[in-house]
Chain A
């Protein structure tokens, strides 16, 4: 049974960094790309980018370059999202999602709420 389990909610001050984890189980981690999606409070879904779980090569969407870093630890089937220099507008739920075929996402993590507040 496929599961993506994300790390818990975070409360951070502006300027701090946060690292969100997404641990996969129930399938071979390197078979499918991992995508990241953001959902601001009360808003819709926004594509952030993805990481090739075979090569570790990340691709970032426009607006998610510079402060956002995707990484992997394939030994523990885990993908990571790190956001640095946090701003209030980074407050959102961050999801990881598996892509089994052409830009469709069949399994999602439960989401990680990141709140940035002084």
Chain B
């Protein structure tokens, strides 16, 4: 199975900050990577698919980049509703595997 490793595990930030989360795959997944946001008590919400494509309805302050094994999710200007946990997930091959999550907390 492909292992997905996110860093950091948590980040403290303030409204308006630029936040970057990194995800590394244990092998080449080309651009087959998705990012999800999960608020407490809620289901995950797809933000980015195919590494850099913004899912319909997702604010443009979210962006994704990377290919191969190294990927990044950037929130350009953090909003109050963005305090949540973010997961990357490889979509290259079965079984799909998720990172351990990055919690974005209030500074």
CA A111 to CA B98, docked complex, whole Å? 17
A97 to B96, CA, bound (A): 13
CB atoms of A62 and B44 under 8 A apart: no
Residues of B close to A29: CB separation below 8 A? none
Within 8 A of B (CB), among A91-113: 95, 97, 101-106, 108-111
Beta-carbon contact of A108 and B96 below 8 Å = no
Is there contact, CB below 8 Å, between A104 and B46?
yes
Cα separation A46 to B44 with both chains bound (whole Å): 12
Contacts of A46 in B (CB 8 A): 98
- With A44-B100, A45-B44 already in contact, the answer to whether A102 and B95 are too (CB < 8 A) is no
A47 within 8 A of B: yes
Contact A44 B99 (CB under 8 A): yes
A93 to chain B, nearest CB (A): 9
A47 lies within 8 A of B43 (CB): no
Report if A104-B98 is in contact (Cβ < 8 Å); known contacts: A45-B44, A110-B43, A111-B43. no
Known contacts A44-B101, A45-B87, A45-B89; is A103 also within 8 Å of B43 by CB? no
The DSSP consensus for interface residues of chain B is loop
**Using a CB-CB cutoff of 8 Å, which residues 55-109 of chain A contact chain B?**
59, 61-62, 95, 97, 101-106, 108-109
With a cutoff of 8 Å between Cβ atoms, the chain B residues found around residue A110 in the complex are: 42-43
In the assembled complex, which residues on chain B have CB atoms less than 8 Å from the CB atom of A45? 36, 44, 87, 89, 98, 101
A103 to B100, CA, bound (A): 18
Q: With a 10 A CB-CB cut-off, give which of A45, A97, A106, A109 has the most chain B CB atoms.
A: A45
**Interchain CB contact under 8 A, A101 and B96:** no
Contacts A104-B34, A104-B49, A106-B55; is A47 near B95 (CB within 8 Å)? yes
Pick from B49, B95, B98, B101 the residue with the most CB of A within 10 Å. Answer: B95
Residues of B participating in the A interface, judged by any CB pair closer than 8 Å: 32, 34, 36, 42-46, 49-50, 55, 87, 89-101
